[in-house]
Amino acid sequence: MKLAMDRTRAVRAPDDAPAGPRVGLALPALTALVVGSMIGSGIFALPSQMAGSAAAGPLLIGWVITGVGMLMLAFVFQSLAQRKPEVDGGVYGYAKEGFGEYVGFTSAWGYWISAWVGNVAYLVLLMSTLGYWFPSFEGGTTVAAIAGASVLLWVVHALTLSGVRNAAFANAVVTVAKVVPILTFIAIAAVGFRAGLFTTDFWGADAGLGGTMDQVKNMMLVTVWVFIGIEGAAVYSQRARSRRDVGRATVLGFLVVLGLLLAVNLLSYGLMAQADIAGLSDPSMAGLLENEVGEWGAGFISAGLVISLLGALLAWVLLAVEILRLPALDHVLPAALAKENRHGAPATALWLTNVCVQALLLWTLVNENTYTDLVYLATSLILLPYLWSAAYQLKLAVTGESYAGGHGRTRDLTIGVLSLAYAVWLVYAGGWQYVLIAGLFYLIGTSLFVWARKESGRSVFTGTVEKAMVAVVALVSIVAVIGLVQGFVSV
């Protein structure tokens, strides 16, 4: 079923334009897209990943930083959706509008790579989880597991080709289904919670995890991974029934997921000793519930994870193709990536995305990449799109653009400063190796940017700033290649 939209223009009319009623994604579907893209694998593996990084005290500090930082980012997407309703594509559109077309390209390209690399991580963990019932899938990277993941990938591909609205509806149904086992775990954990376990070695002095700030830093990329998707409604702003719903869905989805994450993570520290939690295999939530209620608990959570991963996979396929389609409409990526089939699905972008997923799946057969490696890579690549969105919010607040009479400017200035500081902190916490690898990906993608500009007869790089950025990307890429060859980069 096609969406009622004019696909020939990159900029669409805001809600109050006299264009008749929009037929698109309503608030529940947009919220489900946000929640569905955020709740994937992370929450089910959260207890052991956090226990291996931080004790309860540093954990609380880290969650405060994460909660405030991600809330500021949620407010950024809410504010920008309201103040710039004509800008489509979320992280791509805001970067392009604020800092030029090449910056917009880097935001879209990094987001796209993060999306499909994350989907490989989802598929690997999904097959590993199925190993609970089918031993041939154990580990997620066996021949049987990769074959099963490949079949599933192309089933999702076919579903998405049938139309974005059909896929979004399926995502909403799956989102509701996968929240049930999480709520069940929280209820059982609340009953079994033991305060004495929670407060034992509260600051991690005996755990060998380093100082308090070291522990906080170590947990930061994990917290970002579980919140990736907060921008989902903004990316799909062009297909929203109302632009106002984009901001509402972003904040509502964030609050729902934050509540679930805090409950799962904090309650788990009261069920088992921290060292024991850190030693649990993924999904560690299954091991915790098995410890409380018996073997059925592990099977119940494993089934919930399978549903959750299916939903997250579908949500991120949708986001990945949309973040290619919109730049193609603006001649920032080749025009072929904007081509839609008769169902309104961006077919070329979808094929490119899932061929890349398939190739990386096959690559995992002969390499030692783990789920965690893929998670860290996907997380690091999405940090730059977040940073550009925060910077655009700050730019608007500083210049006063879109602020009639200055109303709300001080509030948004504060949000912009805090969200930008948080984004910079995340880049630092992620480590320089991932920055180098990200630069290499950006340089490869720049060839598509050049192709698109020449295809449309436009200047490739405009202005000193864009040329300087390309030079920086090239320099970082050279260092990355040297590092990979000499071994000091091992991502």
DSSP character string of 452-485? HHHHTT--SS-HHHHHHHHHHHHHHHHHHHHHHH
What is the model's pLDDT at position 70?
87
Assess contact for 278 and 55: CB atoms under 8 A: no
Containing 367, the helix (H) or strand (E) segment is none
pLDDT the model gives residue 290: 94
The pLDDT assigned to 12 comes to: 38
Q: Is residue 487 classed as helix, strand or coil in its secondary structure?
A: coil
Helices (H), 330-346: none
Q: What share of the chain is helix, strand, coil (3-state, %, to 5)?
A: 75, 0, 25
Q: Which amino acid is at 416?
A: G
Alpha-carbon distance of 414 to 15, in angstroms, equals 27
Residue 246: count other Cβ atoms within 10 Å of its Cβ. Answer: 28
Between CA 269 and CA 289 the distance in angstroms is 13
Q: What angle do CA 43, 45, 49 make, to 5 degrees?
A: 110
Q: Where are the domains of the chain?
A: 27-432
**CA 459 to CA 467: how far, in whole Å?**
12
**Of 255, 261, 204, 259, nearest in space to 230 by CA:** 255
**In 284-408, which ranges are continuous DSSP H helix?**
284-293, 295-329, 347-363, 371-399
Query: d(Cα 313, Cα 39) in Å, to the nearest integer?
Result: 10
Where b means 16+ CB within 10 Å and e means fewer, 67-84 reads bebbbbbbbbbbbbbbbb
The CA-atom distances, in angstroms, between 457 and each of 9, 56, 386, 454 are 17, 57, 30, 5
Give dist(CA 245, CA 32) in Å, integer.
12
Compute the distance between CA of residue 418 and CA of residue 193 in angstroms, rounded to an integer: 34
Residue 240 has phi, psi (to 5 degrees) of -75, 145
Alpha-carbon span 38 to 32, nearest angstrom:
10
Amino acid sitting at position 91: V
**Tens-digit pLDDT string for the chain (491 aa):** 333 333 333 333 334 333 444 456 788 878 877 787 778 777 888 899 899 889 999 999 989 988 898 889 888 988 888 888 888 888 899 999 999 899 999 999 999 998 898 888 888 888 888 888 888 988 888 899 999 999 999 988 887 777 656 556 666 667 777 788 899 999 999 999 999 999 998 998 887 888 888 888 888 767 777 787 787 767 766 677 877 788 888 888 888 889 999 999 999 999 999 989 998 887 889 999 999 999 899 989 988 888 888 877 877 887 788 889 889 999 999 999 988 888 777 889 999 999 999 998 998 887 765 666 777 778 778 888 889 999 999 999 999 888 877 677 888 999 999 999 988 888 877 778 878 888 889 999 999 999 999 998 888 888 888 888 899 999 999 999 998 888 877 76
Let me know: does 178 contact 39? Beta carbons within 8 Å. Answer: yes
Helix or strand or coil: residue 240? strand
pTM, two decimal places: 0.81
pLDDT of residue 20: 40
Distance CA(374)–CA(377), nearest Å, equals 5
Find out whether 412 and 396 touch, Cβ atoms under 8 Å.
Answer: yes
- b vs e for 294-319, b when ≥16 Cβ sit within 10 Å of the residue's Cβ? eeebbebbbbbbbbbbbbbbbbbbbb
Whole-number Å distance between alpha carbons of 315 and 168: 7
Residue type, 325: R
Backbone φ and ψ of 25, nearest 5°: -80, 125
What CATH class has 27-432? mainly alpha
Paired with 25 in beta bridges are 240
pLDDT for the residue numbered 423: 86
Closest CA to 127 of 359, 364, 381: 364
